[in-house]
C-alpha cells in the first residue's frame, strides 16, 4: 500500500483534495440531504462481545501487539476458538429494537449506523451465503421474533423516522475464500494467499461479497448509505479488488438509485463520504465527511468501559458540526441485549440539550470563523448560530465578543428567546449578557445572529 490506512484498528481518512464527487445526480442530492442529519447512532455488536475484548481484531496475529492485550485468561489459540464459537452461546434475550429506536429518536439521533458484519465474518442478518449468522440454529437467539437483528433494527429505526447506514466489512476472516485454511494461519489482516496464483479462490470471495451486499440492499428496505470498512481490501494492495463498481452500479440501477457508498480510505468514485475515525479534522472540510467515535472508550463492548458525559457529547457534536461534518456516536450493546446504563444517561442528556438547540445543529452549514476560543459557529439561510461552550458551571462575561463580519440586526438567546443588546465594530459583536439568566443553562448556550 502507498500509506498505512489502519493503525491499532483506527482508520485514517482521505484528504479533501483527493475527494471525488460522484457523477450520479441522485446520489449527489442524497449526500447533501444525509449531511444535514448531523447525528448518527453507531453500533458494534456481535457474539464476540461476550468476551469483552476488541471486536474481531484479536483474530489477526499481524495486529497482536495491541489487539490481544485484553486476552489474559488463556492462550491465543484457545481464545480464537472461544471467540469464533461465541455464536453458540449468544442469546441477547433483553434485546428490544423498538426501545432502542425510541431512545435514539428521543436523544436527537437522525440515522442508525449498524454493523451488519465485522471482520470476523459473523452476519447479524439472515444471509443465504453462510451458516455463520444470527438466524442459524447454532445460535440460541435464532428462535427469537427479533432473530434477524439487522431487519428488526432497520424496520424500527425507519418507523421512528431515522435513516439507515449499513456497516459492512469487506474482509471476512471466517470465509475460507479470504483466509483459506489450506495456507495456514494468516500472517496479517490481508488475504492469506496469492490472488495471482489462485484467482479461482478470489473470484469465489468476490461473488460471496457481492451476494451479501446485494442481500442487504434488496431484502432490507431502503439503505441510505453502504458503509464499507476494511480499507486494505483494495486493488492496489495485493490485488484485493472486489470489483465494487459492478455491485454498486447494479444496485443504483435497481433497488437503491440514491445509494451513498463509503468505501473508506480508498478514494475515488465510491468514497462518497470521508470517515475520520476517533478524530476531528483540525480545520473545516468542505467535502462530505463523518467522524465516527465512541461514547465509551472502545467501539466494542467492554465490561469496564468508561463513558463520556452529556457535556462531553454536546461539545464533541459542536466541534464536528462547526467544521462541516456529521457525528456517528458508537454505543456497544451488552451481551444480554440491553444498552449500558451510563451511556444511556449521557445520550439522554445530549438529547435534552438538542431539544432546545436543534435549530442551530440540523441542516446547518459551517461558517467563518468556524471556531474561536470557546465559541462554535454554524449557519442557515439568514441566521448565524454562535454556541458558547460551558465548562461545569455555566458562566458568561458581562459582554460577550462574537466574531462576525455579517450585518446583524438582532441577537437572541435560543434557550429563552430573549433579545439581547449589542454593538458592532464591523468584525465582531459585543453582546450585553449581564442580565442573562443562567439558571436553566447547561453545556452550551446558542446566540442567534439575525442578518439585516
C-alpha cell at 131: 451458516
What Å distances lie between residue 420 and 375, 389, 394, CA to CA? 17, 18, 18
pLDDT at 426: 85
pLDDT digits (tens, 9 = 90+) for 336-359: 999 999 999 999 999 999 999 999
Express each pLDDT in 390-426 by its tens digit: 998 999 999 999 999 999 999 999 999 999 999 998 8
Evaluate if residue 299 carries a pLDDT over 50: yes
Q: For residues 167-174, give the mean pLDDT.
A: 98
Closest by Cα among 450, 446, 452 to 359: 446
pLDDT higher than 70, residue 21: yes
Is a pLDDT exceeding 50 seen at residue 2? no
Whole-number mean pLDDT of the chain? 97
> How large is the average pLDDT for residues 369-395?
97
In whole angstroms, give the CA distance from residue 353 to residue 350: 5
In 118-220, where do the E strands start and end? 163-169
Query: Is the pLDDT score of 292 beyond 60?
Result: yes
The residue-averaged pLDDT of 66-92 equals 97
pLDDT beyond 70 at 204: yes
The pLDDT > 90 percentage for the chain reads 96
Which residues in 303-331 are b (16+ Cβ under 10 Å) and which e?
A: eebebbebbebbbbbbbbbbbbbbbbbbb
pLDDT for res 12: 85
Average pLDDT estimate for 20-24: 95
- Written out in words, the top-level CATH class of the domain with range 365-451 is mainly beta
**8 A C-beta contact, residue 262 and residue 273:** yes
Collapse the DSSP code of 419 into the 3-class scheme (helix H, G, I; strand E, B; otherwise coil) and give the result.
Answer: strand
Question: Is the pLDDT reported for residue 129 higher than 90?
Answer: yes
State yes or no: pLDDT of 253 exceeds 70.
yes
The model's pLDDT over 94-106, given as tens digits with 9 standing for 90+, comes to 999 999 999 999 9
Q: Are 39 and 326 in contact (CB under 8 A)?
A: yes
pLDDT of the residue at 264: 97
Alpha carbons within 13 A on the beta-carbon side of 69: 5
What 3-state DSSP class applies to 83?
A: helix
CA–CA separation, 310 and 110 (whole Å): 18
Which CATH fold topology does 6-360 show? TIM Barrel (3.20.20)
Question: Taking the complete model, does pTM exceed 0.75, yes or no?
Answer: yes
**All cell numbers assigned to 372:** 474561536
On the question of pLDDT at 116 being above 70, the answer is yes
Q: What is the mean pLDDT of residues 181-191?
A: 94
Q: How confident is the model at residue 9 (pLDDT cuts 50, 70, 90)?
A: confident
CA distances from 216 to 54, 100, 132, 173 (A): 25, 21, 16, 19
DSSP β-bridge partners for residue 328: 40, 292
Q: Delimit the domains of the chain by residue range.
A: 6-360, 365-451
Does residue 90 surpass a pLDDT of 70?
yes
Rounded Cα–Cα distance for residues 176 and 19 (Å): 34
The pLDDT value given to residue 11 = 80
- Cβ contacts of residue 262 below 8 Å, gap of 6+? 225, 226, 227, 228, 271, 272, 273, 274, 275, 290
pLDDT in tens, 41-75: 999 999 999 999 999 999 999 999 999 999 999 99
pLDDT at position 7 over 90: no
Amino acid at each position: 500500500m502507498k500509506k498505512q490506512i489502519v493503525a491499532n484498528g483506527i482508520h485514517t481518512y482521505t484528504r479533501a483534495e483527493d475527494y471525488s464527487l460522484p457523477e450520479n445526480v441522485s446520489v449527489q442530492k442524497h449526500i447533501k440531504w444525509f449531511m444535514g442529519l448531523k447525528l448518527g447512532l453507531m453500533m458494534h455488536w456481535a457474539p464476540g462481545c461476550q468476551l469483552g475484548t476488541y471486536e474481531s481484531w484479536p483474530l489477526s496475529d499481524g495486529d497482536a501487539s495491541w489487539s490481544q492485550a485484553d486476552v489474559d485468561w488463556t492462550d491465543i489459540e484457545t481464545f480464537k476458538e472461544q471467540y469464533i464459537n461465541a455464536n453458540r452461546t449468544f442469546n441477547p434475550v433483553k434485546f428490544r429494537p423498538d426501545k432502542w429506536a425510541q431512545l435514539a429518536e428521543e436523544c436527537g439521533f437522525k440515522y442508525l449506523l449498524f454493523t451488519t458484519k465485522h471482520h470476523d465474518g459473523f452476519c447479524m442478518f439472515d444471509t443465504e451465503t453462510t451458516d455463520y449468522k444470527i438466524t442459524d440454529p447454532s445460535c440460541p437467539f435464532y428462535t427469537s421474533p427479533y432473530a434477524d437483528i439487522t431487519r428488526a433494527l432497520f424496520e424500527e429505526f425507519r418507523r421512528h423516522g431515522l435513516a439507515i447506514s449499513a456497516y459492512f466489512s469487506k474482509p471476512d476472516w471466517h470465509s475460507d475464500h479470504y483466509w483459506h485454511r489450506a495456507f495456514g494461519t494468516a500472517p496479517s489482516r490481508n488475504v492469506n494467499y496469492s490472488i495471482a496464483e489462485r484467482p479461482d479462490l478470489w473470484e469465489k470471495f468476490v461473488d460471496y461479497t457481492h451476494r451479501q451486499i446485494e442481500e442487504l440492499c434488496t431484502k432490507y428496505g431502503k439503505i441510505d448509505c453502504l458503509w464499507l470498512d476494511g480499507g486494505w481490501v483494495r486493488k492496489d494492495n495485493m490485488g484485493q479488488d472486489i470489483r465494487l463498481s459492478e455491485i454498486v452500479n447494479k444496485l443504483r440501477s435497481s433497488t437503491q438509485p440514491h445509494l451513498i457508498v463509503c468505501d473508506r480510505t480508498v478514494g475515488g468514485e465510491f468514497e462518497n463520504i470521508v470517515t475520520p475515525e476517533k478524530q476531528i479534522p483540525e480545520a473545516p472540510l468542505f467535502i462530505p465527511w463523518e467522524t465516527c467515535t465512541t461514547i465509551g472508550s472502545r467501539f466494542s463492548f467492554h465490561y469496564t468501559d468508561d463513558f463520556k458525559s452529556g457535556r462531553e457529547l454536546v461539545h464533541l457534536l459542536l466541534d464536528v458540526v462547526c467544521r462541516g461534518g456529521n457525528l456517528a456516536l458508537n454505543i456497544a450493546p451488552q451481551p444480554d441485549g440491553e444498552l449500558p446504563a451510563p451511556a444511556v444517561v449521557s445520550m439522554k442528556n445530549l438529547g435534552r440539550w438538542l431539544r432546545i438547540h436543534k435549530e442551530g445543529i440540523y441542516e446547518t452549514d459551517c461558517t467563518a470563523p468556524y471556531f474561536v476560543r470557546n465559541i462554535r459557529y454554524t449557519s442557515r439561510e439568514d441566521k448565524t448560530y454562535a454556541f458558547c461552550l460551558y465548562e461545569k458551571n455555566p458562566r458568561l462575561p458581562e459582554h460577550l465578543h462574537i466574531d462576525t463580519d455579517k450585518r446583524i440586526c438582532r441577537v437572541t438567546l435560543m434557550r429563552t428567546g430573549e433579545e439581547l443588546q449589542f454593538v458592532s465594530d464591523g468584525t465582531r459583536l459585543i453582546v450585553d449578557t449581564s442580565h442573562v439568566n443562567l439558571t436553566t443553562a447547561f453545556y452550551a448556550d446558542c446566540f442567534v445572529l439575525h442578518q439585516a
